[in-house]
Amino acid sequence: MFEPELLRRVLATALERGGDFAEVYVEDSHALGISLDDDKIERVSAGHDRGVGVRVVVGEATGYAYADDLSETQLLEAARAARAIASSAVPVTVADLRRIPPGYEHQIRIAPESASEREKAELLRRSNAAARAAGPEVRQVSVRYGEARQRVQIANSEGLLVEDERRAVQLNVGVTALRDGRLQTANRARGGQTGLEVFAGEVPEALGREAARVAIELLDAVPAPAGRMPVVITNGWGAVLFHEAVGHGLEADHIVHQSSVYAGRLGQQVANPAVTLVDDATIRNHRGSYRFDDEGTPAQRTVLVDAGTLVGFMSDRKSAAKLGMPCSGNGRRQSFQHLPVPRMSNLCIEPGHATREAIIADTPRGLYVVSIGGGMVEPARGEFVFSVTEAYLIEQGRIGRPVRGATLAGDSFRVLADIDAVADDFALDPGMGNCGKLGQWVPVGVGQPTLRVREMLVGGTG
Ligand SMILES: [Zn+2]
């Protein structure tokens, strides 16, 4: 990371021909991946990326240039390339840089870099052995370990200077079970912005056993029912449905471009009063958190829907200025090679007052969804279809048989408006989420309590 004096010189070079704003983004990232398939440690990938991106804003125009080298020459070169859009003869004076301290710290007890790759490979072997011991139906076990450490330094012509460190570790187990020619797969994962303490005790074994148990149980699954019915979505990872179907529509660039069903609805009731939706980048140790976003704005908890009323959006500097709203600190980028865009951090539905048991008991017939897989959202109208990877029938107010082959279809506006019961059992996801937007991937989190959507279109063959 660089001394303030050099960063200020880079910013001054970037604004030498005028401009409204300049920014330097410095990044130093390490990543490690280990996988296990067919009982063998198959691949160890390790990477180290570093570089700098310089942005110059002149009116509506943005200049951006990056260099994958952190030498002073390259920094100044990037600044000169980014300012090519500017043509004034009068240089802009850059404010003195003031360092802003982070608002909180993550607790990291066992730094991943303190353990050897052999010790990490052992975590995968333990998950694999536990999954294989779960029953003769277990055919295939895949385990993935990943860790990442990204250090960033951001300075801008308004005098801001911040540093942040983001981390990630994760262990994912996928188990395929086979019986009578029928295959079923289940996954379990654990991770976060933590150290290796998140895998302490029997965690690797528990992930393997649980994934195997569910894959074997799904072998007895009945074909999913088809038609409109109530859908109860489990706490934690279930919120990925709302990330995809609702959250993206609350990112401020979609509001600016009128490409969201929520454009023009600020202050309107968009959900049941039991529903409060927030984006919270300040959850300690969770995957989608940061202390500063990738423009240096301090992270915050942003209320999007307050007791059913639409009250906010997730913005970066540019979209916030266009909307005339304060920036919410959601400007994120995959790396120094990318411009920031508005992105979710940890999208959460707050807990309500019902209980999970009461919601299920109050549902004569429906679908209980534990895990949602891939899907598609048509952005302008908000129509979506998701595959369901783990679900159960609700029959006479009880969770019954597992189902296979279910899909969930609906539209973004209705799915939020149709939440009619919210339990008190809030949980965060296990910490393995990634979100893609405009070709950029960033780690994200989700969280929610068990909740019920009054009616969704379930696709199935039963
Ligand atoms: Zn997403």
| pLDDT tens digits along 164-196 | 999 999 999 999 999 999 999 999 999 999 999
Contact 346, 288 (CB under 8 A): yes
Q: In the prediction, which pLDDT does 133 show?
A: 98
pLDDT tens string 88-129: 888 999 999 999 999 999 999 999 999 999 999 999 999 999
What's this model's pTM, rounded to 2 decimal places? Answer: 0.96
How far, in Å, from the CA of 78 to the mean position of ligand 1?
A: 30
Give me the mean pLDDT over the 70-76 stretch.
Answer: 94
- Ligand 1: centre distance to CA 241 (Å): 10
Cα(377) to centroid(ligand 1), Å: 10
3-state secondary structure 146-214: EEEEEEEEEEECCCEEEEEEEEEEEEEEEEEEEECCEEEEEEEEEEECCCHHHHCCCHHHHHHHHHHHH
Ligand 1 centre to CA of 237 (Å) is: 13
Region 198-205 average pLDDT: 98
Q: Report pLDDT for 462.
A: 74
What is the mean pLDDT of the segment spanning 43-68?
95
Residues 6+ away with beta carbon under 8 Å from 388: 224, 367, 369, 371, 372, 373, 403, 406, 407, 408
Separation of CA 31 and ligand 1 centre (Å): 22
| Cα 94 to ligand 1 centroid, rounded to whole Å | 36
In percent, how much of the chain has pLDDT > 70?
100
Work out the average pLDDT over 438-442.
95
- Return mean pLDDT, the chain: 96
Average pLDDT over residues 428-432: 95
Question: Residue 131 Cα, ligand 1 centroid: separation in angstroms?
Answer: 30
Specify the pLDDT at position 376.
Answer: 86
Task: Please determine, for residue 379, whether its predicted confidence score (pLDDT) is greater than 80.
Answer: no
